[in-house]
């Protein structure tokens, strides 16, 4: 599987990028770093600058059709930057339109809210997004990991870095389960 990781040029929570990325690679699949700009992205460890990572593709030079699933890492600034970029929002929405699985952790559901894809879905996030999710028509739950099968695709969400083990195991399982159903 080819899995897109969509991040802004700055502000992604490093561990929410690196642990899911490593889980995808360890599973024999191909992670691809997609951003709104080429070059390198700047990750953060909460409020402190972390490492930088090379961008593989920009949202302008790729599409949802190039991937089997999408992972949206969190960080407070990352999804806020993404939700202000029309191409990034359209990229996210295209995964839902195509019925492809999506995983989002921490503050990443802000981008889902902006893409108008949470209506009728049950999901979790960092607790401060609860009202945003509800106002967008979703049902917010306080769970380590939440899988929603509403609509043609699977949506996997988690609350915070402490949930990463469950998040990674669950989204990989769900992405693999989704693939044969789409191929049929």
Cα separations in angstroms, 149 against 6, 100, 141, 156, 175:
22, 11, 15, 9, 12
Pinpoint the alpha helices (H) of the chain: 14-26, 77-83, 86-97, 109-114, 130-135, 164-183
Reported as half-sphere exposure (CB side, CA atoms, 13 A), residue 13 has a value of 23
Contact criterion met (CB below 8 Å) for 101 and 175: yes
Active site residue ranges: 106-107
**Given the DSSP bridges, would you call strands 10-13 and 40-45 parallel, antiparallel or unpaired?**
parallel
Cα separations in angstroms, 109 against 3, 27, 54, 164, 181:
18, 25, 24, 15, 25
Cα separations in angstroms, 63 against 42, 60, 96, 176:
23, 8, 12, 20
């Amino acid at each position: 599987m080819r899995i897109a990781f969509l991040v802004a040029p700055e502000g992604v929570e490093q561990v929410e990028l690196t642990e899911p990325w490593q889980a995808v690679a360890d599973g024999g699949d191909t992670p691809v770093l997609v951003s709104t700009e080429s070059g390198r992205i700047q990750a953060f460890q909460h409020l402190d600058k972390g490492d930088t990572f090379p961008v593989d593709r920009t949202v302008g030079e790729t599409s949802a059709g190039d991937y089997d699933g999408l992972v949206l890492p969190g960080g407070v600034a990352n999804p806020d930057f993404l939700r202000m970029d029309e191409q990034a929002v359209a990229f996210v929405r295209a995964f839902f339109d195509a019925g492809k699985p999506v995983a989002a952790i921490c503050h990443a559901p802000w981008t889902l809210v902006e893409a108008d894809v949470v209506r009728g879905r049950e999901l979790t996030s960092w607790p401060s997004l609860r009202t945003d999710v509800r106002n967008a028509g979703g049902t917010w739950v306080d769970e380590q990991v939440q899988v929603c099968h509403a609509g043609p695709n699977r949506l996997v969400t988690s609350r915070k870095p402490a949930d990463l083990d469950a998040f990674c195991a669950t989204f990989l399982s769900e992405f693999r389960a989704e693939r044969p159903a789409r191929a049929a």
